[in-house]
Structure 1
Amino acid sequence: MPARRTGAQTRVELNGRPVDVHLSRAAEQALAERQQPLLAEMELYFSCLIRYQVRFQEPTDGSGIVVNDKLQLRFRPVMTARCGNDYAGDEPPLTDFPIEKPAAFTPHWLQIDYRRGQWQGEFGY
């Protein structure tokens, strides 16, 4: 796991496993200024390669778990139908990737920072 930044740490349960959520001081301050919660979605992308990415968005369906009153968390494994770079957009269309035992793929930690007006996140095992 990368070195911890100063700020807040919270442990939540996701898919029956503990996930340590680390917020930098800048992230704590930016969250405190928000009127509504932010959803941090940890995306595990399966295709010709495996990619980890944290996407930040406004929660719409309540499917995230509550970290605190300003932050929700979700884990989403996704895949593409086929490999290749012949898609008309930036990325090929994604679909949810069904996993029989999601706990085995659930990340152990998530770090969130806020720099130059942008949310940044990293997760790992």
Structure 2
Amino acid sequence: MTHQAPAIGCCGPVETDAPIAVTINPEARVNVARSGAPVGTLTPGAWHTISVTVVNDGFVTGPLAVEAEPVRGLELDLTVADLTGAPRQDAGFRVRLDEPTVVDVTLTFRALGALGGLANHSTVNLLLSSLR
């Protein structure tokens, strides 16, 4: 049985197994939150996918981008998700830590879609650790 951990979005908790929940409201504003779902310990040198649940209350279509400032020892594969306008969809990005360490990365989510770029961005901090 999987555990769905709530994250607080723009309009209330989002039930998700993903460590990050993004909510896009009807005005296409983006809110992002950490859920209670664990990221887990990462293996140094290996790529790991971080899941993101997107609740699209605005039925926005177009790209959902994830951005971050460089963090020493951390590689990010921040692919752009294509918002389909569906009320809920899964997305994600990949991370790799070079060596056993703990890093804190600030992620910024931006949605530009049907409403011509009226979307605001939102940020979340993610603590990542890798052990041998």
TM-score where L is the length of structure 2: 0.32
TM-score where L is the length of structure 1: 0.33
Per residue, is there more strand in 1 or in 2? 2
Per residue, is there more helix in 1 or in 2? 1
